[in-house]
Amino acid sequence: MAKNTRAQSLEHLNDKIREFARLREWDQFHSPKNLCMALSVECAELMEHFQWLTEEQSRHLPHATKAEAATEIADVLIYLIRLSQVLDVDLLASVQAKLIANAEKYPVEKARGSAQKYTKFK
């Protein structure tokens, strides 16, 4: 991750996204249920770029496709931030907690080189 400017800090973007919705009076539409649907729709728009590519092709996107993917990734994050706002969930604290849980579920010696779900570990 590049060194981001102040204007690109997560806290700042968080504020901007909240203000964006407030000014447009979108709180009425932004129920968690609706935001979650919008989030899924944006994920699918992202996925559409990859559906017919081989994995190898997906690792080497043409410049234009990569730019489109970046835009869709931004949409996903915007809705995710917005959802965390209306649910009053602390995004980064949740990630930190989940990484700790994942480290327990996927110890290096069991998970190394394996794509198996932890429930299938022996």
Smallest distance, its own copies to C-beta of residue 74, A: 4
Smallest distance, its own copies to C-beta of residue 54, A: 7
DSSP the chain: -----GGGSHHHHHHHHHHHHHHTT-TTT--HHHHHHHHHHHHHHHHHTTTTS-HHHHHS--HHHHHHHHHHHHHHHHHHHHHHHHHT--HHHHHHHHHHHHHHHS-HHHHTT----GGG--
Smallest distance, its own copies to C-beta of residue 121, A: 12
Smallest distance, its own copies to C-beta of residue 53, A: 6
